[in-house]
Amino acid sequence: MMRKYGAAAAALLLSASMLAPKASAAAAYTITPSSKTFSGNMMNFSTYNNNTKHYYLLRSYLEQLEKKGGGTLTLNGGTYTISNTLYVPSNVTIRLKNGVRLVKGTVSGTKQFAAAKSMFQLIRPSRSGKKGVYGKYNGEKNISFIGEGNAVIDMKYDNESIAIIMGHNKNVKVQNIHFQHMQSGHFIEMDASDHVSVINNSFVDSKPSPNRNKEAINLDTPDRSTKGWSQEWSTYDKTPNRYVTIECNTFRNLDRAIGTHKYSGGSYHEHVTIRKNSITNTRLDAIRVMNWSNAVIEKNSFKDVAAGDAKYRGILASGASNPIFQNNTFEHTGRPMQFLAAKNDGPGSQYAITYNTLSQKNMDALKTNIVKNTSETFIRINHFYNVYNDTIKIPCVIKE
């Protein structure tokens, strides 16, 4: 009887499996610079020309991936000139094969629209033209940019341009890409995003911005008053970033490597980890911390910060709460690190002064940092705004 009932049950299960719909495989597309757009879409547009053809090529596939609910777009080797903003929906991986060069186009070749100032924005195409559609961390999710071999994003020194703009996103990965040639913008602008990893990339060569404070990776809040964010699809709700990992990257010949240069009062970027990066030849303080809580900055190498000028720092921190900054190496840097109270000037100046909060554990961790050929061999802590005669000096490990 047991065997009879077992056979009957197996037959029933087989019948049910035949009736059940099969899960569809994730969409996967591969293109080259000479590919046609998806199904030939957009090629009959009056604005389709030699300047916009790669923009329309990638756009057509990203719009198709939105319809499919996600998938993979693989770019084979060659140069793709991107004149206008590409909007990336959820559950999409963009793979850049060895030899891919994504180049910022600076002209559109049409009078109907000018070339844009961003290359990618992480919002689905169908919502990109709408206002206030995303707040907090409720935007697009599960987006990856993965390079293989020598994959390049070249911003061509286009003034105030940005390679990747993310806001209100979850689960974003940027990996193995060589970013180069920035001017007065950012390679990555990150606002209101949750669980972001930026791993094993290089960010090299920028022209000086007017204030020399443009970070390769900028952590910001969507706040109209600070004027650091201008995407109208955002609700401008001042949401900070959280759980950000920036690890094993190279930064070279830049204003700054990583940082925040305007803060929203009471809003703190949470759990930012900056680890095992090489930072060389910055024009200003290499990392600028403003309103970061529970940040870890460890095992990074800083060299030639502001040409060794005694008044600049490897790490400058204001509004740091419970920071663990340890086991970093500073060479040919004026001050290895300084904590001081600060206040926005200009846009955002209505916010109160932001102060640092360090425990004894935090200060003990500071003692593990290593210095070589620096103007100062200690870390400065200044508690009061615009007061510098109260300096607490935390000694570093001196390396000959």
Phi and psi dihedrals of 253, rounded to 5? Answer: 60, 60
Q: Is residue 3 part of a domain?
A: no
CATH code, 393 = 2.160.20.10
Domain membership of residue 107 (yes or no) is no
Q: Is residue 301 part of a domain?
A: yes
d(CA 153, CA 186): 12
Residue 52 lies in a domain: no
Structural domain contains residue 70: no
pLDDT tens digit sequence for 62-117 = 999 999 999 999 999 999 999 999 999 999 999 999 999 999 999 999 999 999 99
How confident is the model at residue 10, as a pLDDT? 47
**Which pLDDT tens digits describe the chain residue by residue (400 residues)?**
344 445 544 444 444 444 444 444 689 999 999 999 999 999 999 999 999 999 999 999 999 999 999 999 999 999 999 999 999 999 999 999 999 999 999 999 999 999 999 999 999 999 999 999 999 999 999 999 999 999 999 999 999 999 999 999 999 999 999 999 999 999 999 999 999 999 999 999 999 999 999 999 999 999 999 999 999 999 999 999 999 999 999 999 999 999 999 999 999 999 999 999 999 999 999 999 999 999 999 999 999 999 999 999 999 999 999 999 999 999 999 999 999 999 999 999 999 999 999 999 999 999 999 999 999 999 999 999 999 888 999 999 999 8
Q: Produce one character per residue of 286-314: b if its CB has 16 or more CB atoms within 10 Å, e if not.
A: bbbbbbbbbbbbbebbbbbbbeeeeebbb
To the question of pTM greater than 0.85 for the whole model, the response is yes
* pLDDT value of position 232: 96
CA atoms within 13 A on the CB side of 7: 3
Q: The domain containing residue 316 runs over which residues?
A: 117-398
How many domains does the chain divide into? 1
Q: What is the pLDDT of residue 25?
A: 67
pLDDT of residue 91: 98
pLDDT in tens, 139-185: 999 999 999 999 999 999 999 999 999 999 999 999 999 999 999 99
Look at residue 41 and tell me if it is in a domain: no
Does residue 21 belong to any structural domain of this protein? no
Give domain status of residue 20, yes or no.
Answer: no
pLDDT of residue 26: 86
